[in-house]
Amino acid sequence: MVNRRLSIARVLESGAKYVTLIFAIGAVTACAGGRQALPSAANTSVFHSSAASTVPGQQPGLVFSNTLASKYNVLHSSVGPNLEFCQGQDGCTQSPYGAANPAYVQGHGMNMHAITIGPGSYYNTERVINLILPDLGAVVNSDQGTISVWFKANAAPVAYQYGVYRIFGGSFGLGSPGIVLYMDASDRLYFTVGGTDPTTAVTANSLKDRQPGVPMSRFIGQWIHIQAVWNRTGIGTSGQTLQLKINSGEVGMATASGWSTDVGTVVDIAGGNDPQIDGKFDEGQLEIYDTNP
């Protein structure tokens, strides 16, 4: 009888410690994220540590992941290096560059949030820098990889008003990143590899009209999932070295492979241009892989 009472006491004590732990985790989560939503099946990776790609359940080849869902999330990538806001580093506040006012909006799914550019005193031709990924070479392989991101253009870009949406670097962006993904006033989405040397850079051409970039008119106002895939020796058996996919369907490609091995040092993310850039596009759940899907 005595032994049975001791066993029951140990069970109760263990249960009390478990409940205390659950409350403690809840308190930390509530305090840390500001606008951050509680984890759902779609965004639990927000709470993983920034470890190498051997974390149980983590997709193979994943070298960077950030939900872009809040200030806390931006500064705490779930995989890979943390992002930075523009605070003068890398010349991001020296004219014609200027710092964005980040803002957060509803993302592509329930309990998901995304980043945009909030209102500010932006001027004509200003290159508005929102986020910066430093040490680009630590997460980007010039020979092969994949960028995966959710994106919504709320309006088609207009030159000198809101002329460029830099999803991952691009036209008039910070530094000279070797891989860029952006939309401009031609109303096309561009994916270029090897941009540090324009003489050998390769850009994906539309499967529809065979021109550089992909027409985006039909996607305005809706969330889309973009995958920008590159492999110098060929993606699978396709014979293609670049593939641009929207919602899992291929929309652009290239076959050249002589692009530079220099990937650059920094890239700006979710940035744009011109005085009316605020709120014109949203971006969420950015991931980089050193493999192809």
Alpha-carbon distances, residue 46 vs 41, 70, 84 (angstroms): 11, 11, 17
Alpha-carbon Rg for the chain, nearest whole angstrom, is 22
Residue 191 pairs with which residues in a beta bridge?
A: 181
How many domains, in total, are found in the chain? 1
Per-residue pLDDT band for 140 (boundaries 50, 70, 90) equals very high
Does residue 177 lie within any of the structural domains? yes
Q: Is residue 281 within 8 Å of 65, Cβ to Cβ?
A: no
- What's the chain's average pLDDT? 86
Confidence of residue 42 (pLDDT cuts 50, 70, 90): very low
HSE-up of residue 85 (Cα within 13 Å, Cβ side): 17
| pLDDT value for 16 | 44
- Average pLDDT, stretch 151-155? 98
Asked if residue 202 belongs to a domain, the reply is yes
pLDDT at 57: 67
CATH number at residue 87: 2.60.120
In a domain, 39, yes or no: no
Task: Please give the pLDDT value at position 201.
Answer: 98
Reply yes or no on whether the pLDDT at 14 is more than 90: no
Tell me which residue range forms the domain holding 188: 48-289
Whole-number Å distance between alpha carbons of 149 and 287: 6
Q: Is residue 19 part of a domain?
A: no
Does residue 281 fall inside a structural domain?
Answer: yes
pLDDT of res. 31: 36
Answer yes or no: is 193 within a domain. yes
Average pLDDT rounded to a whole number, residues 217-235? 98
- One-letter amino acid at 249 equals G
Asked whether residue 14 is domain-assigned, the answer is no
Mean pLDDT across 7-11: 42
- For 182, residues 6+ apart whose C-beta sits below 8 A from its C-beta are 164, 165, 166, 167, 168, 169, 170, 171, 173, 189, 190
Whether 79 is covered by a domain: the verdict is yes
pLDDT in tens, 261-278: 999 999 999 999 999 999
pTM (2 decimals)? 0.81
Distance of CA 132 to the CA centre of its chain: 11
